Amino acid sequence: MVKSSAPLLRSLMRVGKKQQRSAARLFTALFAAPKPAPKARAQPVPKLAPATAPRPTPKPRAASTAAPTPKPKPAPRAAPAALLKDAPAPGKWLTARYAGQSGQALRTMSYWLYLPDGAAPPSGWPLIVMLHGCEQSATQFAQGTRMNQMAQKAGYAVLYPQQSLSAHPHRCWKWYDRATQQGGGDVPVIVGMIGQVLAAYGLDRSRVFICGMSAGAGMANIVALNHPELFAGLGLHSGPLYGAGHSTVGALGVMQHGNGARVDSAIAEVLERRPGFPSMPTILIQGDDDRVVRPVNQVHLRRQAMLINDLPAATPVRVAHKAGGRSGLPHQLHDVYRGRKLILRVAQIAQLQHAWSGGDARLSFNSAAGPDASKMLVDFFGKHRR
Protein backbone atom coordinates (compact mmCIF):
# COMPACT_ATOMS: atom_id res chain seq x y z
CA MET A 1 0.00 0.00 0.00
CA VAL A 2 2.90 2.36 0.71
CA LYS A 3 4.30 1.85 -2.78
CA SER A 4 0.94 2.47 -4.47
CA SER A 5 0.11 5.57 -2.43
CA ALA A 6 3.54 7.24 -2.58
CA PRO A 7 3.15 8.75 -6.08
CA LEU A 8 -0.19 10.23 -5.07
CA LEU A 9 1.32 11.72 -1.93
CA ARG A 10 4.09 13.31 -4.01
CA SER A 11 1.45 14.68 -6.38
CA LEU A 12 -0.45 16.22 -3.49
CA MET A 13 2.71 17.74 -2.06
CA ARG A 14 3.51 19.55 -5.31
CA VAL A 15 0.59 21.94 -4.81
CA GLY A 16 1.12 25.62 -4.00
CA LYS A 17 2.38 26.56 -0.56
CA LYS A 18 -1.02 27.77 0.66
CA GLN A 19 -2.58 24.39 -0.11
CA GLN A 20 0.20 22.08 1.09
CA ARG A 21 -1.09 21.97 4.63
CA SER A 22 -4.66 21.24 3.48
CA ALA A 23 -3.45 18.53 1.10
CA ALA A 24 -1.35 16.86 3.79
CA ARG A 25 -4.20 16.97 6.30
CA LEU A 26 -6.65 15.42 3.85
CA PHE A 27 -4.13 12.74 2.85
CA THR A 28 -3.61 11.88 6.51
CA ALA A 29 -7.35 11.93 7.11
CA LEU A 30 -8.07 9.45 4.33
CA PHE A 31 -5.36 7.01 5.40
CA ALA A 32 -6.01 7.19 9.15
CA ALA A 33 -7.01 3.90 10.73
CA PRO A 34 -10.53 4.08 12.17
CA LYS A 35 -10.96 3.78 15.91
CA PRO A 36 -12.79 0.66 17.09
CA ALA A 37 -16.45 1.55 17.43
CA PRO A 38 -18.11 0.89 20.78
CA LYS A 39 -20.90 -1.66 20.89
CA ALA A 40 -24.14 0.01 19.90
CA ARG A 41 -26.91 0.01 22.44
CA ALA A 42 -30.47 0.96 21.59
CA GLN A 43 -31.35 4.19 23.37
CA PRO A 44 -34.21 6.64 22.98
CA VAL A 45 -33.35 9.63 20.83
CA PRO A 46 -33.27 12.80 22.97
CA LYS A 47 -35.41 15.75 22.09
CA LEU A 48 -33.72 18.74 20.56
CA ALA A 49 -32.35 21.26 23.01
CA PRO A 50 -31.85 24.96 22.32
CA ALA A 51 -28.29 26.21 22.22
CA THR A 52 -28.43 28.24 25.39
CA ALA A 53 -25.57 28.95 27.75
CA PRO A 54 -25.27 26.43 30.61
CA ARG A 55 -26.65 27.48 33.98
CA PRO A 56 -24.15 28.43 36.69
CA THR A 57 -23.24 25.59 39.04
CA PRO A 58 -24.99 26.15 42.41
CA LYS A 59 -22.87 26.63 45.49
CA PRO A 60 -22.42 23.46 47.58
CA ARG A 61 -24.81 23.13 50.50
CA ALA A 62 -23.85 22.26 54.05
CA ALA A 63 -23.79 18.57 54.92
CA SER A 64 -27.17 17.16 55.93
CA THR A 65 -28.31 13.98 57.65
CA ALA A 66 -31.35 13.78 55.37
CA ALA A 67 -31.50 11.13 52.65
CA PRO A 68 -29.81 12.34 49.48
CA THR A 69 -32.06 13.60 46.69
CA PRO A 70 -31.69 11.57 43.49
CA LYS A 71 -29.90 13.52 40.75
CA PRO A 72 -32.08 14.35 37.74
CA LYS A 73 -31.17 12.81 34.40
CA PRO A 74 -29.00 15.12 32.33
CA ALA A 75 -30.83 17.12 29.65
CA PRO A 76 -29.85 16.73 26.00
CA ARG A 77 -26.69 18.71 25.43
CA ALA A 78 -26.94 22.16 23.95
CA ALA A 79 -24.94 23.13 20.90
CA PRO A 80 -21.48 24.46 21.74
CA ALA A 81 -20.92 28.18 21.82
CA ALA A 82 -19.79 29.95 18.65
CA LEU A 83 -16.18 29.22 17.79
CA LEU A 84 -15.49 32.90 17.25
CA LYS A 85 -17.02 36.05 18.63
CA ASP A 86 -19.27 36.89 15.67
CA ALA A 87 -22.90 37.59 16.49
CA PRO A 88 -24.91 34.42 15.77
CA ALA A 89 -27.83 34.50 13.38
CA PRO A 90 -31.17 35.13 15.07
CA GLY A 91 -33.34 32.07 15.36
CA LYS A 92 -32.91 28.69 17.06
CA TRP A 93 -29.67 26.69 17.03
CA LEU A 94 -30.50 23.17 18.18
CA THR A 95 -28.68 19.86 18.51
CA ALA A 96 -29.53 16.21 19.09
CA ARG A 97 -28.48 12.68 18.16
CA TYR A 98 -30.29 10.48 15.68
CA ALA A 99 -30.34 6.70 16.08
CA GLY A 100 -31.07 4.62 13.01
CA GLN A 101 -30.22 1.45 11.16
CA SER A 102 -27.26 1.10 8.82
CA GLY A 103 -27.63 -2.40 7.47
CA GLN A 104 -27.91 -4.67 10.50
CA ALA A 105 -26.15 -2.26 12.85
CA LEU A 106 -27.64 0.52 14.96
CA ARG A 107 -25.90 3.82 14.24
CA THR A 108 -26.14 7.13 16.04
CA MET A 109 -25.15 10.46 14.53
CA SER A 110 -25.13 13.95 16.00
CA TYR A 111 -26.70 16.82 14.14
CA TRP A 112 -27.31 20.52 14.47
CA LEU A 113 -30.40 22.32 13.20
CA TYR A 114 -30.93 26.01 12.48
CA LEU A 115 -34.48 27.38 12.42
CA PRO A 116 -34.99 30.98 11.27
CA ASP A 117 -36.44 33.64 13.51
CA GLY A 118 -40.06 34.57 12.83
CA ALA A 119 -43.18 32.76 11.69
CA ALA A 120 -42.78 29.94 9.20
CA PRO A 121 -44.80 30.06 5.96
CA PRO A 122 -47.99 27.92 5.86
CA SER A 123 -46.15 25.13 4.04
CA GLY A 124 -43.26 25.23 6.53
CA TRP A 125 -39.65 26.31 6.10
CA PRO A 126 -37.73 24.76 3.22
CA LEU A 127 -34.70 22.74 4.35
CA ILE A 128 -31.05 22.76 3.28
CA VAL A 129 -28.91 19.80 4.39
CA MET A 130 -25.21 20.71 4.72
CA LEU A 131 -22.48 18.05 4.83
CA HIS A 132 -19.05 19.15 6.08
CA GLY A 133 -15.69 18.00 4.71
CA CYS A 134 -12.83 16.08 6.31
CA GLU A 135 -11.18 17.79 9.28
CA GLN A 136 -14.37 19.81 9.92
CA SER A 137 -17.21 19.61 12.42
CA ALA A 138 -20.82 20.59 11.83
CA THR A 139 -20.43 23.76 13.89
CA GLN A 140 -17.23 24.76 12.10
CA PHE A 141 -18.95 24.22 8.76
CA ALA A 142 -21.91 26.35 9.82
CA GLN A 143 -19.67 29.20 10.91
CA GLY A 144 -17.25 28.96 7.99
CA THR A 145 -19.98 29.02 5.35
CA ARG A 146 -22.18 31.54 7.20
CA MET A 147 -25.12 29.55 5.89
CA ASN A 148 -27.27 30.25 8.97
CA GLN A 149 -27.06 33.99 8.33
CA MET A 150 -27.98 33.43 4.68
CA ALA A 151 -30.82 31.10 5.69
CA GLN A 152 -32.22 33.71 8.06
CA LYS A 153 -32.40 36.23 5.22
CA ALA A 154 -33.91 33.82 2.71
CA GLY A 155 -36.14 31.83 5.07
CA TYR A 156 -34.61 28.33 5.23
CA ALA A 157 -34.03 25.77 7.94
CA VAL A 158 -30.55 24.22 7.80
CA LEU A 159 -29.57 20.73 8.97
CA TYR A 160 -25.92 19.83 9.66
CA PRO A 161 -25.27 16.09 10.15
CA GLN A 162 -21.88 15.38 11.72
CA GLN A 163 -19.74 12.35 10.93
CA SER A 164 -18.67 10.62 14.13
CA LEU A 165 -15.07 10.11 15.20
CA SER A 166 -15.82 6.42 15.70
CA ALA A 167 -16.80 6.13 12.02
CA HIS A 168 -13.73 8.05 10.88
CA PRO A 169 -11.06 9.67 13.10
CA HIS A 170 -11.02 12.80 10.92
CA ARG A 171 -14.79 12.97 10.32
CA CYS A 172 -14.47 12.05 6.62
CA TRP A 173 -17.57 10.82 4.82
CA LYS A 174 -16.73 7.63 2.90
CA TRP A 175 -17.82 8.84 -0.53
CA TYR A 176 -15.33 6.46 -2.17
CA ASP A 177 -16.79 3.32 -0.57
CA ARG A 178 -18.66 1.15 -3.10
CA ALA A 179 -21.39 0.09 -0.64
CA THR A 180 -21.96 3.71 0.38
CA GLN A 181 -22.20 4.77 -3.26
CA GLN A 182 -24.96 2.20 -3.71
CA GLY A 183 -26.98 3.55 -0.79
CA GLY A 184 -25.45 1.84 2.25
CA GLY A 185 -23.08 3.10 4.92
CA ASP A 186 -24.11 6.47 6.31
CA VAL A 187 -26.78 7.06 3.64
CA PRO A 188 -29.79 5.53 5.48
CA VAL A 189 -28.80 7.30 8.70
CA ILE A 190 -28.69 10.71 7.00
CA VAL A 191 -31.98 10.05 5.19
CA GLY A 192 -33.66 8.90 8.40
CA MET A 193 -32.39 11.98 10.20
CA ILE A 194 -33.84 14.23 7.49
CA GLY A 195 -37.20 12.47 7.76
CA GLN A 196 -37.26 12.91 11.53
CA VAL A 197 -36.50 16.64 11.31
CA LEU A 198 -39.07 17.19 8.54
CA ALA A 199 -41.78 15.57 10.65
CA ALA A 200 -40.80 17.15 13.97
CA TYR A 201 -40.81 20.73 12.65
CA GLY A 202 -43.40 20.62 9.88
CA LEU A 203 -40.89 21.61 7.21
CA ASP A 204 -41.73 21.87 3.51
CA ARG A 205 -41.17 18.42 1.98
CA SER A 206 -41.36 19.82 -1.55
CA ARG A 207 -38.30 22.03 -0.94
CA VAL A 208 -35.55 19.89 0.56
CA PHE A 209 -32.03 20.45 -0.78
CA ILE A 210 -28.68 18.85 -0.02
CA CYS A 211 -25.16 20.16 -0.53
CA GLY A 212 -21.64 19.73 0.76
CA MET A 213 -17.98 20.65 0.54
CA SER A 214 -15.20 18.28 -0.61
CA ALA A 215 -15.90 14.86 0.97
CA GLY A 216 -19.25 16.28 2.08
CA ALA A 217 -20.04 17.12 -1.55
CA GLY A 218 -19.23 13.55 -2.52
CA MET A 219 -21.58 12.28 0.19
CA ALA A 220 -24.35 14.76 -0.69
CA ASN A 221 -24.22 13.54 -4.28
CA ILE A 222 -24.52 9.92 -3.15
CA VAL A 223 -27.51 10.63 -0.89
CA ALA A 224 -29.32 12.54 -3.64
CA LEU A 225 -28.66 9.91 -6.32
CA ASN A 226 -29.98 7.14 -4.05
CA HIS A 227 -33.02 9.10 -2.82
CA PRO A 228 -33.94 11.52 -5.64
CA GLU A 229 -37.59 11.72 -4.62
CA LEU A 230 -36.56 13.42 -1.37
CA PHE A 231 -34.59 16.32 -2.85
CA ALA A 232 -35.55 19.25 -5.06
CA GLY A 233 -31.94 20.22 -5.76
CA LEU A 234 -28.29 19.39 -5.20
CA GLY A 235 -25.23 21.59 -4.58
CA LEU A 236 -21.62 20.39 -4.77
CA HIS A 237 -18.67 22.61 -3.80
CA SER A 238 -15.19 21.24 -4.66
CA GLY A 239 -16.50 17.69 -4.84
CA PRO A 240 -15.23 14.46 -6.44
CA LEU A 241 -17.08 12.71 -9.22
CA TYR A 242 -19.58 10.01 -8.31
CA GLY A 243 -19.02 6.27 -8.48
CA ALA A 244 -15.24 5.94 -8.44
CA GLY A 245 -12.41 5.39 -5.94
CA HIS A 246 -13.46 2.23 -4.03
CA SER A 247 -10.40 2.46 -1.74
CA THR A 248 -8.41 5.18 0.00
CA VAL A 249 -5.71 5.04 -2.67
CA GLY A 250 -8.40 5.10 -5.35
CA ALA A 251 -10.03 8.09 -3.65
CA LEU A 252 -6.82 10.09 -3.83
CA GLY A 253 -6.50 9.17 -7.49
CA VAL A 254 -10.00 10.52 -8.13
CA MET A 255 -9.25 13.73 -6.23
CA GLN A 256 -6.18 14.36 -8.39
CA HIS A 257 -7.21 12.98 -11.78
CA GLY A 258 -10.93 12.21 -11.78
CA ASN A 259 -11.84 8.94 -13.48
CA GLY A 260 -12.96 9.25 -17.07
CA ALA A 261 -13.70 5.53 -17.35
CA ARG A 262 -16.36 5.75 -14.61
CA VAL A 263 -18.13 8.96 -15.62
CA ASP A 264 -20.82 7.40 -17.83
CA SER A 265 -20.90 3.88 -16.41
CA ALA A 266 -21.49 5.03 -12.82
CA ILE A 267 -24.59 6.98 -13.87
CA ALA A 268 -25.78 4.09 -16.04
CA GLU A 269 -25.71 1.92 -12.90
CA VAL A 270 -27.80 4.48 -11.01
CA LEU A 271 -30.39 4.63 -13.78
CA GLU A 272 -30.52 0.84 -13.89
CA ARG A 273 -31.24 0.71 -10.15
CA ARG A 274 -33.70 3.61 -10.33
CA PRO A 275 -35.77 3.50 -13.55
CA GLY A 276 -37.71 6.71 -14.11
CA PHE A 277 -35.15 8.81 -12.24
CA PRO A 278 -36.66 12.30 -11.72
CA SER A 279 -34.96 15.56 -12.63
CA MET A 280 -32.21 16.60 -10.19
CA PRO A 281 -31.35 20.32 -10.56
CA THR A 282 -27.67 20.72 -9.68
CA ILE A 283 -25.19 23.52 -9.03
CA LEU A 284 -21.47 22.76 -9.19
CA ILE A 285 -18.97 25.20 -7.63
CA GLN A 286 -15.23 24.75 -8.14
CA GLY A 287 -12.03 26.75 -7.76
CA ASP A 288 -9.74 26.77 -10.78
CA ASP A 289 -6.66 26.70 -8.50
CA ASP A 290 -7.85 23.77 -6.36
CA ARG A 291 -5.01 21.26 -6.15
CA VAL A 292 -6.67 19.00 -3.59
CA VAL A 293 -9.84 18.09 -5.53
CA ARG A 294 -8.77 19.20 -8.97
CA PRO A 295 -11.12 20.89 -11.49
CA VAL A 296 -11.21 17.79 -13.69
CA ASN A 297 -13.72 16.48 -11.16
CA GLN A 298 -16.10 19.32 -11.98
CA VAL A 299 -15.76 18.45 -15.68
CA HIS A 300 -16.75 14.87 -14.88
CA LEU A 301 -19.55 15.92 -12.52
CA ARG A 302 -20.94 18.20 -15.21
CA ARG A 303 -21.13 15.27 -17.62
CA GLN A 304 -22.78 13.12 -14.94
CA ALA A 305 -25.36 15.83 -14.19
CA MET A 306 -26.22 16.05 -17.89
CA LEU A 307 -26.70 12.27 -18.02
CA ILE A 308 -28.79 11.96 -14.86
CA ASN A 309 -31.06 14.77 -16.10
CA ASP A 310 -31.33 13.28 -19.60
CA LEU A 311 -29.88 16.41 -21.20
CA PRO A 312 -28.30 15.85 -24.63
CA ALA A 313 -24.64 16.78 -24.90
CA ALA A 314 -25.58 19.36 -27.56
CA THR A 315 -27.96 21.24 -25.23
CA PRO A 316 -27.18 24.99 -25.49
CA VAL A 317 -25.20 26.50 -22.62
CA ARG A 318 -25.60 30.12 -21.51
CA VAL A 319 -22.30 31.55 -20.28
CA ALA A 320 -21.98 34.62 -18.05
CA HIS A 321 -18.62 36.19 -17.18
CA LYS A 322 -18.51 37.93 -13.79
CA ALA A 323 -15.80 40.42 -12.84
CA GLY A 324 -14.14 39.97 -9.49
CA GLY A 325 -14.59 43.40 -7.97
CA ARG A 326 -13.08 44.61 -4.70
CA SER A 327 -14.04 41.62 -2.55
CA GLY A 328 -14.51 38.86 -5.07
CA LEU A 329 -12.84 36.69 -7.65
CA PRO A 330 -13.68 36.62 -11.36
CA HIS A 331 -15.83 33.65 -12.27
CA GLN A 332 -17.96 32.14 -15.00
CA LEU A 333 -21.46 30.69 -14.80
CA HIS A 334 -22.45 28.03 -17.32
CA ASP A 335 -26.23 27.48 -17.25
CA VAL A 336 -28.17 24.66 -18.91
CA TYR A 337 -31.96 24.93 -19.21
CA ARG A 338 -34.77 22.57 -20.05
CA GLY A 339 -37.29 24.91 -21.56
CA ARG A 340 -37.45 27.81 -19.10
CA LYS A 341 -36.23 25.80 -16.12
CA LEU A 342 -32.61 26.06 -14.99
CA ILE A 343 -31.39 22.48 -14.49
CA LEU A 344 -27.62 22.80 -14.22
CA ARG A 345 -25.37 25.68 -13.14
CA VAL A 346 -21.59 25.27 -13.28
CA ALA A 347 -19.60 27.97 -11.45
CA GLN A 348 -15.88 28.15 -12.27
CA ILE A 349 -14.06 30.52 -9.91
CA ALA A 350 -10.64 31.86 -10.90
CA GLN A 351 -7.82 31.75 -8.31
CA LEU A 352 -9.93 29.89 -5.73
CA GLN A 353 -8.13 27.03 -4.00
CA HIS A 354 -9.67 24.20 -1.94
CA ALA A 355 -11.90 26.43 0.15
CA TRP A 356 -15.51 27.55 0.51
CA SER A 357 -15.91 30.63 -1.66
CA GLY A 358 -16.84 33.75 0.31
CA GLY A 359 -16.51 31.99 3.65
CA ASP A 360 -14.93 32.91 6.98
CA ALA A 361 -11.19 32.66 6.31
CA ARG A 362 -10.39 32.42 10.03
CA LEU A 363 -11.51 28.80 9.76
CA SER A 364 -9.79 26.15 7.64
CA PHE A 365 -11.06 25.44 4.13
CA ASN A 366 -12.70 28.87 3.74
CA SER A 367 -11.76 31.77 1.47
CA ALA A 368 -12.86 35.32 2.25
CA ALA A 369 -12.78 36.23 -1.43
CA GLY A 370 -16.12 35.75 -3.15
CA PRO A 371 -18.41 35.04 -4.86
CA ASP A 372 -20.47 34.00 -1.84
CA ALA A 373 -21.07 30.28 -2.37
CA SER A 374 -23.81 30.16 0.27
CA LYS A 375 -25.75 32.88 -1.55
CA MET A 376 -25.20 31.11 -4.87
CA LEU A 377 -26.67 27.92 -3.42
CA VAL A 378 -29.68 29.62 -1.85
CA ASP A 379 -30.40 31.59 -5.03
CA PHE A 380 -30.25 28.39 -7.10
CA PHE A 381 -32.39 26.39 -4.68
CA GLY A 382 -34.98 29.15 -4.66
CA LYS A 383 -35.84 28.30 -8.27
CA HIS A 384 -36.83 24.69 -7.55
CA ARG A 385 -39.26 22.46 -5.70
CA ARG A 386 -40.06 18.74 -5.91
Mean pLDDT, the chain, integer: 85
Interval 336-363 mean pLDDT: 98
Q: Is residue 50 part of a domain?
A: no
Least confident of 22-31, 42-51, 259-268: 42-51
Task: Please say whether the beta carbons of 138 and 161 come within 8 A.
Answer: yes
Give the orientation angle of helix 248-257 with respect to helix 2-13, to 10 degrees: 30
Domain with 83 in it: what CATH number?
3.40.50.1820
Report the relative pairing of strands 341-349 and 331-338 from DSSP bridges. antiparallel
- Using the predicted structure, report yes or no on whether residue 103 has a pLDDT greater than 60: yes
What is the three-class DSSP state of 353?
Answer: coil
Residue 53: inside a domain: no
Asked whether residue 271 is domain-assigned, the answer is yes
Rounded Cα gap, residues 369 and 375, in angstroms: 13
Has residue 330 been placed in a domain?
yes
- Whether 174 shows a pLDDT value over 70: the answer reads yes
> pTM (2 decimals)?
0.82
Find residue 100's DSSP bridge partners: 107
What is the count of structural domains for the chain? 1
Out of 80-84, 173-177, 215-219, which region has the weakest mean confidence (pLDDT)?
80-84
Q: Would the pLDDT of 165 be above 70?
A: yes
- Domain around 285: 9-29+77-381
Give residue 317's pLDDT. 98
Give the residue-averaged pLDDT of 326-335. Answer: 93
Structural domain includes residue 361: yes
Residue 167 domain-assigned (yes or no): yes
140 found inside a domain: yes
Is residue 30 very low, low, confident or very high in pLDDT (cuts 50, 70, 90)? low
pLDDT for residue 298 is more than 60: yes
In a domain, 221, yes or no: yes
